[in-house]
Amino acid sequence: MNRSMQPVAILFFLLVFLTITSIHFSFCNANHDVVMCMESERQALSAFKQDLVDPSNRLYSWEVEDDCCKWEGVVCNNLTGHVLELHLQNPNTLFDFGSEVTALRGEINASLLNLKHLKYLDLSLNDFGGIPIPSFIGSLASLRCLNLSAAGFGGSIPHQLGNLSSLRFLSLKSSSFGLVFGLMDVDKLQWLLGLSHLEHLDLSYVSLFKEPNWLQVINELPSLVELHLSGCQLDYASPHLLDVNFTSLVVLDLSLNYLYSVIPRWIFSLSSLVSLDLRMNFFVGRLEGFRENGFEGPFPKVFQNMTSLEFLDLSNNELEGPFPKVFQNMTSLEFLDLSNNELEGPFPVLQVKSNLLEFWVWAASMQLLICFVLLGKIVDLSIYWVAEMVVAGDGLLVYGCCLGSPSSDVYGSS
């Protein structure tokens, strides 16, 4: 009797054990295994990978793993299993050692179009060898973020991108190899008008030379928060445009263009700006008021409304006249570069509100580098500044923030 009971008891305990462990396992894996990637999307990604060249085998997991939601750079919706995001940016930037090795190359297979729910596509910093951006990317209708920054694309930007009506973020910035491949360019920018929700636009180093109406087009994108048009071969920025619609703009970068005019008046009405980069242009005129800049009427001081400004770079232009007094009201300023202009006269009272930052004042013409020590209070810089310091020619660079007493060199070397 006892003998025949033994196997039954063992079986019973074994069953209990298995039940417990399987309960345990299903608890552990509930978050990961329940939703797997869709077969059709897995095939689309495999076809996409087949046309890529991946010398460092970054996408190894795409070959060994069944569930494409676990593949390197792939993010799925954890309820439906649809592929939502592709993060395939080169982990090394252009200047990192080995960046060419980790760059993806080759071609971009239209099978991506089977990822109907794709919201986020980042192929930045790879090296597609100067091929044009494929026009079918304009049919990835769910895209909210498209990052092709410095990915080695060339030629003309396809107008079809204007169909991406949900897009919030668009970077088509050319790589610095642009000059070697030939810059990317656009003939007309009208297609941008399809992107009515766009908040962040970066077309740096894309030639807009053939689009003299770039500002009129961009002026119809009222949601813009960041605009980067550095090195776009812009030569006209409509100084007389009166009403700007993108008044929520926080970052404006027009550096490294051929803008030969007064600083356009519309820029000064962007009262939310935190960062303004106009360096390396040919801006002329005086900074302290519009009247002198050739505008009619008793205009208020420039910069008066830009009270949020933290970063201001006007270096390497042809600005002249006295330093504008208005900097005294810019209590958020952390970086100010006015070097390589023709500004002159006493440096104005500058109040700086900061606990942490360092303040550097550099008068290049005198080869002076003065570091002020932090006091952490609002400080009147002019107290420490040599009373009638004239900084002609090379101008003045002030960045960082926080003040104290200057070193004695200030007095010695003028």
Residues binding ligand NAG (CB under 6 A): 31, 47, 50-51, 78, 89, 107, 109-111, 122, 124-125, 138, 145, 147, 149, 159-160, 162-163, 169, 171, 191, 194, 219-220, 222, 243, 245, 268-269, 300-302, 304-305, 325-326, 328-329
Closer residue to ligand NAG in complex, CB, 308/328: 328
Closer residue to ligand NAG in complex, CB, 10/193: 193
Instruction: Report in angstroms how near the CB of residue 35 gets to ligand NAG at its nearest.
Output: 9
- d(CA 412, CA 86) in angstroms, rounded, equals 59
- d(CA 355, CA 341) in angstroms, rounded, equals 30
At 69, phi and psi to the nearest 5?
-70, -15
Within a 10 A sphere around the Cβ of 145, how many other Cβ atoms?
Answer: 16
Closer residue to ligand NAG in complex, CB, 57/216: 216
Instruction: Report in angstroms how near the CB of residue 114 gets to ligand NAG at its nearest.
Output: 11
Task: Match 């169909």 to its residue by tokens.
Answer: 163
- d(CA 106, CA 47) in angstroms, rounded, equals 13
Closer residue to ligand NAG in complex, CB, 2/31: 31
Closer residue to ligand NAG in complex, CB, 9/28: 28
Instruction: Report in angstroms how near the CB of residue 371 gets to ligand NAG at its nearest.
Output: 27
- Give which of 373, 314, 379, 387 is closest to 345, Cα–Cα: 387
Instruction: Report in angstroms how near the CB of residue 40 gets to ligand NAG at its nearest.
Output: 13
Residues with Cβ < 8 Å from 151, sequence gap 6 or more? Answer: 123, 124, 125, 126, 127, 128, 175
Closer residue to ligand NAG in complex, CB, 69/208: 69
- Give which of 369, 376, 356, 378 is closest to 406, Cα–Cα: 369
Instruction: Report in angstroms how near the CB of residue 226 gets to ligand NAG at its nearest.
Output: 10
Instruction: Report in angstroms how near the CB of residue 29 gets to ligand NAG at its nearest.
Output: 11
Closer residue to ligand NAG in complex, CB, 149/275: 149
Are 330 and 309 in contact by the 8 Å Cβ rule? The answer is yes
- Give which of 272, 178, 192 is closest to 232, Cα–Cα: 178
Are 178 and 157 in contact by the 8 Å Cβ rule? The answer is no
- d(CA 222, CA 34) in angstroms, rounded, equals 43
Instruction: Report in angstroms how near the CB of residue 55 gets to ligand NAG at its nearest.
Output: 19
